[in-house]
A and B are shown apart, each in its own frame.
Chain A
């Protein structure tokens, strides 16, 4: 194999794209041609560095932007926490809110006035019926009625 042919085949050799016989010839040539051995080392080096440098992770949010731009959806991981609650959790929340509202209404309702005592009820009825409490005759004590002051 000539150096010129070697240089044409070296990249396919590095990529394992030569058949067995060709690959063997390339290997044999590099084994006793220092210049071509260096060319082979350089080809391998470039390939390895190309592979190594490509290990970039996916940027944050790119997948979501792709989904949004295509299907219009967003992945579950990107949804805010509050939107990812299961249905039963929403039901539970609604029930708790209703119970709270009922309790709040019960606690905040105005307290009714205590039932009137018998005496005050009698006074109320007197006023409401137009009686004047001062006009009610006051009964005299029994001793006064029986006492005699003169002969």
Chain B
């Protein structure tokens, strides 16, 4: 889906903001996509989420405090959009097996050529299982976990992004990872390495 909404006119203010914002896009779009990819579980939704987040960031760029990292501000926008969308979706769509094809059929990045085909296949299977597990959980848990594991944010930074306490972040991450562990153990025990198996 292409979102093509220009929020600023061709006035002086826009001309001043444009180069700075474009630089932010170039610096953070890759990170934003990595987070969005894990949040949504597929390429198409990830692109939409990233694009919509930047559109909103541009619209409200005058509220951005340049003393703070732009990425954190962008992630706040992105996580709010994601959680809102997930809530809206859950009202009329139940998690179904259809989503399995989305998770497994998504285009994967080619793995390291040094890996054997079996390892690559296994990694893809693990990835697909993780995406399924992520999709099935509460969006707040998922968001906290993705910000921690994909973006490498500290609990304190996640608390700022998600506008909650550090204790809440700790609890969300613990519960999210527990869900994933249990999901993998039950649905794909062959993916768990022996030292971590039951």
- A-to-B contact residues, CB < 8 Å: 8, 10-12, 14-15, 17, 38-39, 41-47, 49-59, 62-63, 65-73, 75
Contact = CB atoms under 8 A, between A and B. Distances in A.
A66 B123 contact: no
Contacts of A56: 33-34, 37, 43, 109
Contacts of A39: 181
B154 A50 contact: no
A33 to B, nearest CB: 14
A70 B5 CA distance: 7
B168 interface: no
B130 interface: yes
A63 B50 CA distance: 10
B193 interface: yes
Interface of B: 2-8, 14, 17-18, 21-22, 25-26, 29-30, 33-35, 37-38, 43, 47, 50-51, 54-55, 57-58, 109, 123, 126-127, 130, 145-146, 148-150, 152, 154-155, 170, 173-174, 177-178, 180-181, 184-185, 192-193, 195-198
29 contacts: A11-B174, A11-B177, A12-B170, A15-B155, A38-B198, A41-B195, A45-B193, A49-B127, A50-B149, A52-B127, A53-B127, A53-B130, A54-B38, A55-B109, A56-B43, A58-B33, A59-B47, A62-B29, A63-B25, A63-B29, A66-B50, A68-B4, A69-B4, A69-B55, A70-B58, A71-B8, A71-B17, A73-B22, A75-B26
A43 B149 contact: no
A70 B7 contact: yes
Chain B contact residues: helix, strand, loop or mixed: helix
A14 B181 CA distance: 14
Nearest to A10: B174
Contact of B38 (A10, A17, A45, A53): A53
A43 B195 CA distance: 12
Given A38-B196, A45-B193, A70-B57, 15 more contacts: A11-B170, A12-B155, A46-B177, A50-B145, A51-B149, A54-B35, A57-B30, A62-B29, A63-B29, A66-B25, A67-B25, A68-B4, A70-B58, A71-B8, A71-B17
B196 A69 contact: no
Contact of B180 (A46, A51, A52, A73): A46
A72 B54 CA distance: 13
A72 B6 CA distance: 7
Contact of B21 (A17, A62, A71): A71
B150 A51 contact: yes
Contact of B54 (A44, A45, A49, A66): A66
Contact of A69 (B5, B18, B126, B145): B5
Contact of B174 (A8, A50, A57): A8
A58 B30 contact: yes
Contacts of A45: 192-193, 196
A71 to B, nearest CB: 4
Contacts of A51: 149-150, 152
